[in-house]
Structure 1
């Protein structure tokens, strides 16, 4: 059992196997407009994903989720920090990245946009095999990937084009294209956001089945905490480039410790109470506010709760540290167990 003490944030011990994919102190920045300060899209993130584990990365649009996912995939090089896979730091040479992307695959949000309308289903799924110089039976590999994705009999779909498929079937083709290379981990960016409600459950059930059958790990990027509840083992809540709360799905969604997490949960239909409306938009990532980066929108500060707890000044001035990559944590001056 290990415990990582973090001053200014509540954390608890955790027992866990070695991570398959790990980020440590990860930062991603983009040039500012007209020579202004750089946008800190990812501003210090530790995150571990274990073998056979599904982690949901949750937050509003613009919070840095997709930038973090791209950095984990090696699509952007971090400004600082490291990404490690299977215990080895990620190398950014062309050959090393090609080998890495065979083991870690991306599933995009919009299947219509990620499938070439001029390619048949067979060609769409076989593309990865051809890029990586697969030497085995291509037809058998494509058929197996389609079957695992729920398109059976697979041969019936070989010569179809994307426009001839339903939205759910197109998403299954995208998943098959990721599975055909036998990856150990997939990064799914809003995998059901473009689908009808009736189809979402089927795709989520498919991802869970693939985890159980193949031992597949997954990072699911989403704005929907309800989706996280249905699919994830652990949840990491992101705001303005940082993870502000993490833990098992039961811990985070049943007993949230951060006001931002509580606000996200309040809008779910099953929440029951009044939705918490956050004022304004998230701050510009090129101008991250001092203190807790959520304080300018925090309901606890606006309501006087932070003042009554003697934490208002710390909320406005004392920066919170990066949470550890695993375990129960909340980067909030008002979280249970905080010292004054």
Structure 2
């Protein structure tokens, strides 16, 4: 299956992700290893496995898109990476050191890793001016420099120029795009190394989305910022990301460079997500039912209850139907281990028995033909 996602308007101006990609063997800036986050179940049910074993790495200057449908665990994983939720198991490391969940350490960590929320109207206090909204971070963290100059520089970097013109404005006096730029300025004022952006353009008009994406790319080019962009919009991932991680029911099921994952998807879930884009060839793949309850994750492959290949007999013909029903695919490393030679993080990975069987070498190539040309 081949598709060129175009659901989100593409940014113009700064170089694209492929032109700015960093060395595939550079040590991760932020990494998660075996992260699990569970919440107590209701009415006697077992724990809800919101994040159920995730490895993920983000390198300096790299933009990673975390993609999946609502409820798959994307935001919970992002909160765990930010230190807002302590993992039930596994660990998060930043700059080679495990995250310390003591108050002082978390405060220092959050100066280096900043969150950009989905809804700027909900992120900004309606009673605070733009100046106070951006200055809140430096005041909390005890910034010792010139506060006014720092706020002005952050607003200018976020594209609000001249910055002084916005100092005394309130959120209701700004457009949606301007409010999102204020939120981004509030993150930039602390000079972070990594941004975690949770659906950063979901609440904006289509005409403004490309401007915000172009801003994020420009910040990466000018400041060397890394970013984790949480989204359900594959078009956004295509336009901004170096690498994509596709998440389903608490686990990453496919990862690789944006070109690998979005032009030649290997997991049937990724194929289904891409099939509904306007320019995707063939008929859309309509998945049956809803994602399973995270308190009752099915045995075997967690996608098997909705998998179009298992339900349609393709997995039987490939000889992997029993494996799909009984064997849980391994956890993907999510971007390569530290110190690995050869840049394993650049190699696409998939947690799918059918994909592995299809790609297994044989006398005449893959054992199963591709779904579509």
Name the residue aligned to 2:25: 16
How far apart are 1:15 and its partner, in Å? 4.3
Gaps of 5+ in 2: 1-22, 336-344, 362-366, 368-373
Name the residue aligned to 2:354: 334
- Mapped partners of 2:24, 2:196: distance in 1: 24
How far apart are 1:97 and its partner, in Å? 0.2
Out of 236, 249, 262, which is 1:240 matched to? 249
Name the residue aligned to 2:284: 275
- Mapped partners of 2:71, 2:208: distance in 1: 26
Deviations 1:271-304 (A, max 9, x none): 1321111111100011000100000000001111
- Mapped partners of 1:89, 1:125: distance in 2: 29
1:286 and 2:308 are equivalent in the alignment: no
- Mapped partners of 1:273, 1:152: distance in 2: 46
1:153 and 2:162 are equivalent in the alignment: yes
- Mapped partners of 1:15, 1:199: distance in 2: 32
How far apart are 1:152 and its partner, in Å? 0.4
- Mapped partners of 2:284, 2:161: distance in 1: 43
C-alpha contact (below 8 Å) 2:252/2:334 kept by paired residues: no
1:173 is paired with a residue of what secondary structure? helix
- Mapped partners of 2:164, 2:285: distance in 1: 50
Q: TM-score, normalised by structure 1?
A: 0.95
Out of 162, 177, 180, which is 2:171 matched to? 162
Name the residue aligned to 1:225: 234
- Mapped partners of 2:128, 2:233: distance in 1: 32
C-alpha contact (below 8 Å) 2:245/2:334 kept by paired residues: no
Q: TM-score, normalised by structure 2?
A: 0.86
Q: Alignment RMSD, CA only?
A: 1.2
1:334 is paired with a residue of what secondary structure? helix
**Mapping 1:244-263, distance limit 5 Å:** 244-263=253-272
1:91 is paired with a residue of what secondary structure? coil
**Mapping 1:128-207, distance limit 5 Å:** 128-207=137-216
- Mapped partners of 1:16, 1:296: distance in 2: 37
- Mapped partners of 1:300, 1:34: distance in 2: 35
How far apart are 1:237 and its partner, in Å? 0.1
- Mapped partners of 2:190, 2:140: distance in 1: 10
How far apart are 1:138 and its partner, in Å? 0.3
1:46 and 2:32 are equivalent in the alignment: no
How far apart are 1:325 and its partner, in Å? 2.2
1:84 is paired with a residue of what secondary structure? strand
Name the residue aligned to 1:5: none
1:151 is paired with a residue of what secondary structure? coil
- Mapped partners of 2:216, 2:245: distance in 1: 19
2:279 is paired with a residue of what secondary structure? helix
Deviations 1:108-127 (A, max 9, x none): 00000000000000000000
**Mapping 1:90-105, distance limit 5 Å:** 90-105=99-114
Name the residue aligned to 1:75: 84
Name the residue aligned to 2:11: none
- Mapped partners of 1:182, 1:167: distance in 2: 24
- Mapped partners of 1:64, 1:247: distance in 2: 19
Deviations 1:175-216 (A, max 9, x none): 000000000000000000000000000000000000000000
